[in-house]
């Protein structure tokens, strides 16, 4: 079926090169990637394959050496720093392996922070924070601090922070990497549920079991992106380890 709607993410010929002294490392090599509204995509590959570099460009945290990137139809690489920050704050939610919660803020205020940065009024912020915490099952933990939560609960709080602003795209970088298998399963159940409710989600991972939860699977190795035909469940055993 031909796709006609404007994609959330549309990259063409993206390359990334890191230079240390006389050494060049090609993190990404002419990557093409299109992700449409409502997709749940996994990028699978070993450490050093280029997954985090891809996510950094997708999230407007890094600029490629060459190539083009349109976010929801807008030239993302043509934005100045202020405009890129505003677009990122408004339209992209991040979930990190290390949670990145602020230890001196309770969970309510951690989740509230992106809304404060957008200048949203106090009443609307309270409503959205309650809604986001309810979606991840942490309403009762709103006034707890990160150190008072389990790893799985901290990651759910990080997901609430990522979705509270109602972003067009959620980017998750090894979201189960610091969790045991049971907690990791719970986090992936939550991401799958968010996708079923309409969120567009991209997960990068080295874990085959995590990648298999997505509906579309891409494999990254040595900076090159390859798409497996069919669903993520068709992934051959042992890939990505």
Query: What is the C-alpha to C-alpha distance for residues 94 and 89, in angstroms, rounded to an integer?
Result: 10
pLDDT of 237 over the 70 cut: no
For 75, phi and psi rounded to 5 degrees? -70, 95
Q: According to the model, what pLDDT value does residue 227 have? A: 87
pLDDT of 233 over the 70 cut: no
Question: pTM, whole model, 2 decimals?
Answer: 0.87
Q: How many CA atoms lie within 13 A of 5 on its CB side?
A: 10
Quick one: average pLDDT of 73-84?
92
What percent of the chain is modeled with pLDDT above 70? 93
Q: Which helix (H) or strand (E) holds 111?
A: helix 107-117
Quick one: average pLDDT of 24-46?
93
- Distance of CA 143 to CAs 101, 105, 109, 190, 229, Å? 14, 9, 8, 21, 45
Residue 3 pLDDT class (50, 70, 90 cuts): low
Residue 236 pLDDT class (50, 70, 90 cuts): very low
Query: What is the C-alpha to C-alpha distance for residues 13 and 178, in angstroms, rounded to an integer?
Result: 33
Q: Which helix (H) or strand (E) holds 169?
A: strand 169-173
Q: How many CA atoms lie within 13 A of 221 on its CB side?
A: 6
Q: Which one has a higher pLDDT value, 241 or 82?
A: 82
Mapping DSSP to helix (H, G, I), strand (E, B) and coil, where does residue 84 land? Answer: helix
Tokens of 93: 């939610």
Mean pLDDT of the chain: 89
pLDDT of 240 over the 80 cut: no
């Amino acid at each position: 079926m031909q796709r006609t709607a404007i994609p959330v993410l549309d990259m063409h010929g993206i390359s990334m090169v890191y230079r240390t002294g006389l050494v060049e490392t090609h993190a990404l090599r002419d990557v093409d990637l299109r992700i449409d509204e409502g997709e749940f995509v996994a990028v699978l590959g070993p450490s050093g394959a280029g997954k985090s570099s891809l996510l950094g460009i997708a999230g407007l945290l890094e600029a490629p050496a060459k190539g083009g990137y349109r976010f929801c139809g807008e030239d993302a690489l043509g934005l100045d720093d202020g405009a890129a920050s505003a677009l990122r704050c408004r339209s992209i939610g991040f979930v990190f392996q290390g949670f990145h919660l602020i230890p001196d803020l309770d969970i309510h205020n951690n989740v509230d922070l992106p809304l404060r940065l957008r200048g949203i009024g106090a009443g609307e912020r309270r409503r959205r924070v309650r809604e986001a915490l309810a979606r991840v099952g942490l309403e009762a933990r709103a006034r707890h601090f990160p150190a008072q939560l389990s790893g799985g609960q901290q990651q759910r709080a990080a997901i609430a922070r990522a979705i509270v602003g109602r972003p067009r795209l959620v980017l998750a970088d090894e979201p189960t990497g610091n969790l045991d298998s049971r907690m990791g399963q719970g986090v992936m159940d939550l991401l799958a549920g968010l996708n079923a409710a309409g969120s567009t989600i991209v997960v990068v991972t080295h874990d085959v079991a995590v990648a298999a939860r997505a509906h579309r699977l891409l494999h990254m190795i040595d900076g090159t992106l390859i798409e497996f035909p069919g669903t993520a469940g068709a992934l051959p055993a042992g890939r990505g380890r």
